[in-house]
A = this chain, B = another copy of it.
Amino acid sequence: MPVITFEGPVIENLEVKRKLVQKLTDAAVETFEKIPREAFIVLIKENPPTNVGSGGTLLIDRSKP
């Protein structure tokens, strides 16, 4: 612990996941200097646009031209 859960879009590129995990952990470590870096867990949760609603509309319906 601490556990950082990132609910976001589908991420195709593994390099983006690497960057996200590293940067989120950096942010947390810089804030909690007494908690060892190893203690921080990040969970990346990928949500397809068919499964996310904003303002009552699915994202997949929002992105249509």
Categorize the interface residue count of chain A: 35 or more
Is the pair B1, A41 in contact by a Cβ cutoff of 8 Å?
yes
Question: Which of the residues B17, B51, B61 comes within 8 Å of A51, measured between beta carbons?
Answer: B17
Question: Which of the residues B4, B25, B43, B55 comes within 8 Å of A55, measured between beta carbons?
Answer: B25
Residues of B within 8 A of A22 (CB): 53, 56-57
Shortest distance between the CB of A60 and any CB in chain B (Å):
8
A7-B43, A14-B50 given; 12 more Cβ-contact pairs under 8 Å: A2-B6, A4-B6, A6-B28, A14-B60, A16-B32, A17-B51, A20-B28, A20-B31, A23-B28, A23-B30, A25-B53, A46-B51
Q: Which 3 residue pairs across A and B have the least CB separation, nearest first?
A: A21-B53, A25-B56, A42-B53
